[in-house]
Structure 1
Amino acid sequence: MDGKARIRGNIATYLGLTVVFCLMPYYWCIHTGTLAGGYSPAGFSLMLMWGPALAAFTTCRIRKIPLDELGWNWRPTKYQWLAYGVPILYSAGAYIVIWSTGRGGFYKEEFVAKVAKGFGWSLPDGVVIVLFTLLAGTFGMARSMSSALGEEIGWRGFLTPQLAKLHSYTATSLWMGLVWSLYHYPILLFSNYNLGGSKWFAMACFTVMVFAMCFVLTWLRIKSGSLWTGAVLHASHNLFIQSIFTPLTVDTGSTNYYIDEFGVGVPLATVIVAIYFWRRRHELPEGKIPAPTAVV
């Protein structure tokens, strides 16, 4: 078997196993109509997000691929900081435009009051927002990473390097965008992974965002040689959009069409960032990812 045929076999095995490991969580999410359920408030979604990791580990065992090829090295740390900051940049930019144009309001007093009550604070709303953002953006990353890591071991740890051995950076990013979008469609269309508006509109916005994110994630994975860039970016993205910016936003009538992952704001901002990274594709070694280094 030649090298390319073996790589294609690795990819086919991985994708097949991902479907197998995700079937039961998909069933529960669709049958109950919610991602929250089972043994914890995030039980179904957590099981679904760890399906790609289980598929990666199993594929490595079956295809005799060393686990260190998944990219466990943390350094160079500068790429982890970049991965953390990029989602803040594009999500904050999108929400600032939304708030300033009245497509959504800033800020939801009920949410701030709930946060203040939860912490036992008697502070001005502005101080509560700042303190909550700082705490969520630091300690909250641990919880967000626990779920994002499951997907990223599979998507950026295993699949991206395999695709990069066959394709250019651009083609690898597009293939990853397709796979990652398809992975989300069952819960987007048949469960409650949306804001409650038009599911087809939400799917279109979400797809644009995912494809754009993959250009950033693929660039970081190839440049750094680390799957942790994907885990950090994914966790930061989920945290700031789902736990901070969206809850702070007041619905002014058609706000759902502009906010979160299912409105036009974040996808458009992400496309701008994706174009920036795509223009830096010449910095990447085509078809090659830096060799794994020790975990430090």
Structure 2
Amino acid sequence: MAAVNWRPVIIFLVLAYALAWLAALPLWLGGGLRDPLFGVYAVLMMFTPAVAALIVSRFVDRPASIPRELGLVEVRPVGRFLLYLGLGLVVPVVLGMGALIVGAWLGVYPADFENFSGFEAALREQTEAVGAPMPAIPIGILVAAQFFNIFIGTIINTVPALGEELGWRGWLLPRLMPLGAPAAIVVSGVVWGLWHAPLILLGYNYQDGPGWLGVLAMCAMCMVFGGVFAWLRLRSHSVWPAALAHGALNASAGLMFVFVMAGSGFSTFHAGVLGWSGWILPLLLIIALGLAGQFRPAASYKVRRTQSPTAKP
């Protein structure tokens, strides 16, 4: 098996990290997470891995086809592609719900799966804030509607999620595969987690603990869910199922506020997909997929070494 070519990997990492810190710099110089333009800067940051991958592909790797190299145009066989697109849409939502069930069972997530009291209280607070009456719709129907909102949110979130996935699973993962799938998943997961540091150190995602612990937790979360995304990328030969799964994971993160018990609090270090209890199911899934040989890339998926005539060896 060929060894990892670390030169383009290091260049990619330097670019992705430097651009991420540059995108987040206004938050550090301004209002942090309370900055009114936080969402804009966060979305800009999500595109930095794609920019790094495109720069390295254009000026360092120089493959025969950059879109093909990054998994943007691999859609055949169509049946396989559609299958993994569907899995990319469904699996993260199932894991997100499973995280809440496991968290409730372990006692780290105060759930109300019957009356949805926390969600109802939040709706009442929101409607009272704008002087409107509570919707005359059963709360169960409103909860069910949240899953339709997740579908819409997934489609919207897939665009910025592709900005990340072009870098992490589109470009980086294949270059690390000579290490073996387990090591490639761990290394790419740690890289992905550390990339979030400009926001995590400001308190994003993990607000009830020190920043360094939040970064460690984010690395662990990215390793387990990155393993799921890696499976989708390797088996589909395309980056699109991973991007869709990333969008679905982001869109379903709010489920923790739909099923929480009214008047209760929880720590994201412990509950939801961000917390350790939410990593159990994806870790078990990765182990099962590994035992089934689902992380073996097909021969057609090997990193292409074809270079343009002007490229240096």
Q: TM-score range by the shorter chain?
A: 0.7 to 0.9
Equivalent-residue separation in structure 2 for 1:112 and 1:97 (angstroms): 25
Equivalent-residue separation in structure 2 for 1:273 and 1:115 (angstroms): 40
Show the counterpart of 1:49.
46
Instruction: Please identify which structure carries the higher helix content.
Output: 1
Q: Please identify the structure whose Cα radius of gyration is greater.
A: 2
Write the mapping of 1:56-71 to structure 2, written as runs, cut at 5 A.
Answer: 56-63=53-60, 64-65=62-63, 66-68=65-67, 69-71=69-71
1:246 Cα offset (Å): 3.3
Write the mapping of 1:1-296 to structure 2, written as runs, cut at 5 A.
Answer: 4=3, 7-32=5-30, 34-35=32-33, 37=35, 40=37, 42-63=39-60, 64-65=62-63, 66-68=65-67, 69-72=69-72, 73-74=74-75, 75=78, 76-99=81-104, 103-106=109-112, 107=116, 108=118, 109-113=120-124, 114=126, 121-134=135-148, 136-164=149-177, 166-189=178-201, 191-199=202-210, 200-241=212-253, 243-250=254-261, 252-281=264-293, 284-285=296-297, 289=301
Equivalent-residue separation in structure 1 for 2:87 and 2:158 (angstroms): 16
CA RMSD of aligned residues (A): 3.0
Equivalent-residue separation in structure 2 for 1:16 and 1:33 (angstroms): 26
- Determine if contact 2:271/2:278 at 8 Å carries over to the other structure: yes
Question: Relative to 1, partners in 2 of residues 1:36 and 1:228: Cα closer, same or farther, differing over 3 Å?
Answer: farther
- Determine if contact 1:112/1:129 at 8 Å carries over to the other structure: no
Tell me, what secondary structure is at the counterpart of 1:91?
helix
1:214 Cα offset (Å): 2.1
Equivalent-residue separation in structure 2 for 1:14 and 1:287 (angstroms): 25
Alignment coverage as a number of residue pairs? 284
Equivalent-residue separation in structure 2 for 1:247 and 1:31 (angstroms): 34
Equivalent-residue separation in structure 2 for 1:248 and 1:187 (angstroms): 26
Q: Identity rate of aligned residues, in percent?
A: 23
- Determine if contact 2:208/2:267 at 8 Å carries over to the other structure: no
Residue-by-residue CA offset, 1:250-291 (whole Å, 9 max, x unaligned): 462445443234432212232222222222236613786269
User: What amino acid sits opposite 2:70 in the alignment?
Assistant: L
1:201 Cα offset (Å): 4.7
Question: Relative to 1, partners in 2 of residues 1:11 and 1:283: Cα closer, same or farther, differing over 3 Å?
Answer: closer
- Scaled by the length of structure 2, the TM-score of the pair is 0.79
- Scaled by the length of structure 1, the TM-score of the pair is 0.83
